[in-house]
Structure 1
Amino acid sequence: MATREVGGVVLGRAAEKLFSLSGLFAVYKPKGPTSAGVLNLLKEKLLAEAGLQTNRSKRNQVLKIGHGGTLDSAAEGVLVIGIGKGTKMLGTMLAGSKKYTAIGLLGKATDTLDATGKVTEEKPYDQITKGDLENVLQKFTGDIMQVPPLYSALKKDGERLSTLMKRGEAVEAKPARPVRVYSLSLQQFQPPLFTLELSTCATMQELTRTKHGPFTLEEHALHEDKWTIDEIARSLEFCTSLLPGESSHKKLKTEHPGETAVSCEDK
């Protein structure tokens, strides 16, 4: 029985339950789409299940939903979603802990610093040893200043720097930002390898966010086949207990068979 009205439309049971959802949960973002694209698809699926049209009418805009922390289109992993009053909690996720798995490839550099760009330089890497890499990693512990890459989701005049760069527009580097790295360790060393500052070059091949705040990829991120009103309701109930006592550090981990894996924690 319909018991609620939104945007001049009387809601059925599914729609009423959808608009009653409130809190934070996590979904899995695959490689390819942008974070905004994943959010739009999620919203469309929920509105369709609720029997509401998925156009841009005022009725559809009543559903409050957003994400906290952009993942590049080439990256995958945990994307935290806020729905209802949970959208007001997304700001805290931006400063929350994050954990990544990154795969690096030595010997090639690209203009985007990852596998999606054009190769700009190639160098030999046979001379690089495990000890060389471990010594370099030590320089990136403690309080450091980190310069954001030009190909990033940071914005200038409302547009992403990566979008401006791809259009060939001149983009100035953003100022370096303070980062605290608690630990940095080499997990594997099997060339070609991922590195930071050696007499060669490297490119990041893959990036997966495996943790954001208390939400982990394995335990909490809902894949697309679970993007239903009932599944999200269960996830919201379960994830409520995760939010108190959230730690304030950030962790980065890199690991892949046959290539270097590096892990670090920063704030």
Structure 2
Amino acid sequence: MAEQLHGKLGQVLANTAAAKLFSLSGLFAVYKPKGPTSASVLNQLKEKLLAEAGIQTCARKRKKQILKIGHGGTLDSAAAGVLVVGIGQGTKMLSNILAGSKYTAIGELGKATDTLDATGKVTEEKPYDQITKGDLERVLQKFTGDIMQVPPLYSALKRDGQRLSSLMKKGEAVEAKPARPVTVYSLSLQNFQPPLFTLDVECGGGFYVRSLVSDIGKELSSCANVQELTRTKQGPFTLEEHALHEDKWTIDEIAQSLEHCMSLLAIEPSFKKLKTEHSEESIVSCEDK
């Protein structure tokens, strides 16, 4: 009898958790550590939430009856920082209001790599002793405002449906994408201890900090790559105030975070429009991204 009551209680609690999970809707931020891809972090988050709600998925049904969730912009696997997540109707808001980000990047002068960061193979080495702090600060002015930028070969951009980075790893020949317009709102030098230098970057969408650091090295008649990269802000969400670490990836913690984060968007015109258009929530299946 006691076992039956315990079993029923567990089922009620699981049903309550599931109902609460599927009622969540909006945007919140999580902390993405260095190492995993943005997609794997999102899948890990999804699995933890579904497990807490007592929902099991099998391989055949994985794309059905699944939590609707997505992220607001890929962060390199070698980078850490803010990853904004949309859940429920929040997935429709991601592309509308997350147009800007802030980064802290540590660059290394004198070495170029095939990935433009520390994970790649060194492809070139050049002297950097002649470069002064003043030289670097003057060069930064050339990369502020509306500029043209060539995306890295190792990137999430696609050719014939496949990521360029995947094609590169297979050894296939990949041509660089043409330069495209991007925006740098602010760019400042925070530290200079050759060969290392630290930048704070605030930029618009579609911008690659790895390309920026590489271009800076070339402009200084040397070369450079990114040693460390941290996204400190995405949209209105900051690393310090809003990014939930893995131990906070629970239904209740996310529900509280949604209340706080969505209040930041209340004055956004695009948010108001979406809220009006999609006032009724629904449970929709969604493929893992």
* Normalised-by-shorter TM-score class: 0.7 to 0.9
Q: TM-score, normalised by structure 1?
A: 0.84
The equivalences for 1:63-212 within 5 A come to 63-94=67-98, 96-194=99-197, 196=216, 197-212=219-234
**SS of equivalent to 1:12:** helix
**SS of equivalent to 2:75:** coil
Equivalent residues of 1:93, 1:212 under 8 A apart: no
Partner of 2:36: 33
Find the aligned partners of 2:97 and 2:108 in 1 and give their Cα distance: 30
**SS of equivalent to 2:193:** coil
Find the aligned partners of 1:138 and 1:66 in 2 and give their Cα distance: 35
Residue 93 (structure 1) shift: 4.2
The equivalences for 1:237-248 within 5 A come to 237-245=259-267
5+ residue gaps, structure 2, are: 1-7, 9-13, 198-212, 270-289
* AA in 1 matched with 2:262: T
Find the aligned partners of 1:164 and 1:190 in 2 and give their Cα distance: 36
Aligned CA-pair RMSD: 2.0
Find the aligned partners of 1:82 and 1:130 in 2 and give their Cα distance: 41
Find the aligned partners of 2:267 and 2:192 in 1 and give their Cα distance: 35
- The yes-or-no answer on 1:230 pairing with 2:233 is no
| Deviating more after overlay: 144-153 vs 216-225 | 144-153
Find the aligned partners of 1:178 and 1:59 in 2 and give their Cα distance: 36
Find the aligned partners of 2:64 and 2:46 in 1 and give their Cα distance: 9
Partner of 2:273: none
- Deviation string for 1:70-113 (max 9, x for gaps)? 0111111111111111111112245x210001010111111110
Equivalent residues of 1:29, 1:35 under 8 A apart: yes
Residue 162 (structure 1) shift: 0.9
**SS of equivalent to 2:82:** strand
Residue 170 (structure 1) shift: 1.5
- The yes-or-no answer on 1:215 pairing with 2:218 is no
Find the aligned partners of 1:123 and 1:31 in 2 and give their Cα distance: 28
5+ residue gaps, structure 1, are: 3-10, 248-267
* AA in 1 matched with 2:183: R
Equivalent residues of 1:48, 1:54 under 8 A apart: no
Find the aligned partners of 1:140 and 1:155 in 2 and give their Cα distance: 26
* AA in 2 matched with 1:22: S
Residue 246 (structure 1) shift: 5.6
* AA in 2 matched with 1:161: L
* AA in 2 matched with 1:141: T
Q: TM-score, normalised by structure 2?
A: 0.77
How has the CA–CA distance of structure 1 residues 188 and 47 changed in structure 2, closer, same or farther, with 3 Å as cutoff?
A: same
Instruction: Give the structure with the higher percent helix.
Output: 2
**SS of equivalent to 1:52:** coil
Partner of 2:19: 16
| Deviating more after overlay: 12-21 vs 147-156 | 147-156
**SS of equivalent to 2:93:** helix
How has the CA–CA distance of structure 1 residues 173 and 59 changed in structure 2, closer, same or farther, with 3 Å as cutoff?
A: closer
Find the aligned partners of 2:114 and 2:108 in 1 and give their Cα distance: 14
Residue 59 (structure 1) shift: 7.9
Residue 185 (structure 1) shift: 2.3
Identity of aligned residues (%): 81
How has the CA–CA distance of structure 1 residues 81 and 49 changed in structure 2, closer, same or farther, with 3 Å as cutoff?
A: same
Residue 58 (structure 1) shift: 5.3
Find the aligned partners of 1:78 and 1:203 in 2 and give their Cα distance: 22
Residue 121 (structure 1) shift: 1.2
**SS of equivalent to 1:85:** helix
**SS of equivalent to 1:189:** strand
